[in-house]
């Protein structure tokens, strides 16, 4: 039986490439994106549900319909400079949005999440190369908005048996080698 992944932010840059990678690996892929910063045309490996992660009713309906085995969570605002100028929208969209998403998942009995965190949670490097054990000390609201989510996921794991992995990757660049995505 094919497994199903719900990719939040799947119409964005990293999310759309991951949709392709999941589909290539044999998963059913469903994208949830509010298209605030994504591209409808980038959603090619399964249905697009136009919805905001903060819309609990909408997200719950998607979870009940597709019953995903995993939520791959990429939906976020992701500009450091913008987060310094207007931190409220980062804590609202990223942090509150993720709490709403996790609560919808809990209500729907969906307990596995792959979280797209960020290298910005490390802050100024104390040593290089930076590895997973490097201390996390963000220096901007974007980094904090993601690091709080990492903590939230740890707590949800302990209390509600939600299993998660947080990927703190560095800046991605480039296009799809097959030329299917920019």
Contact residues for 130 (Cβ-Cβ < 8 A; gap 6+) = 119, 122
Say how many C-beta atoms besides its own lie within 10 A of residue 164's C-beta. 19
**Site membership for ligand NAD, residue 122 (CB under 6 A):** no
**Site membership for ligand NAD, residue 65 (CB under 6 A):** no
Q: Which of 5, 29, 43, 52 binds ligand NAD (CB under 6 A)?
A: 52
**Site membership for ligand NAD, residue 138 (CB under 6 A):** no
Place of tokens 């290539």: 24
**Site membership for ligand NAD, residue 37 (CB under 6 A):** yes
Say how many C-beta atoms besides its own lie within 10 A of residue 155's C-beta. 11
Beta bridge partners of 49: 32
| Cα angle for residues 7, 11, 17 (degrees, 5° grid) | 75
Query: Which position's Cβ is nearest ligand NAD?
Result: 12
Q: Which of 9, 46, 141, 143 binds ligand NAD (CB under 6 A)?
A: 9
Interface residues with ligand NAD (CB under 6 A) are 8-9, 11-15, 33-38, 52-54, 74-78, 93, 97, 116, 118, 169, 171-172
- Provide the annotated active-site residues: 142
């Amino acid at each position: 039986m094919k497994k199903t992944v719900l990719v939040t932010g799947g119409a964005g840059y990293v999310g759309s490439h991951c949709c392709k990678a999941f589909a290539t690996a044999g998963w059913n892929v469903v994208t949830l994106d509010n298209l605030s910063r994504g591209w409808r045309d980038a959603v090619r490996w399964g249905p697009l549900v136009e919805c905001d992660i903060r819309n609990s009713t909408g997200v719950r309906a998607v979870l009940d319909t597709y019953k995903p085995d995993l939520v791959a969570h990429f939906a976020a605002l992701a500009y450091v400079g913008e987060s310094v100028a207007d931190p409220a929208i980062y804590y609202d969209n990223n942090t509150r949005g993720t709490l709403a998403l996790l609560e919808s998942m809990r209500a729907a009995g969906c307990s596995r999440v792959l979280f797209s965190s960020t290298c910005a949670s490390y802050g100024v490097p104390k040593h290089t190369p930076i590895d997973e054990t490097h201390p996390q000390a963000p220096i901007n609201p974007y980094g904090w908005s993601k690091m709080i989510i990492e903590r939230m996921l740890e707590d949800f794991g302990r209390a509600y048996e939600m299993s998660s992995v947080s990927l703190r990757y560095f800046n991605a660049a480039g296009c799809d080698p097959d030329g299917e995505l920019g």
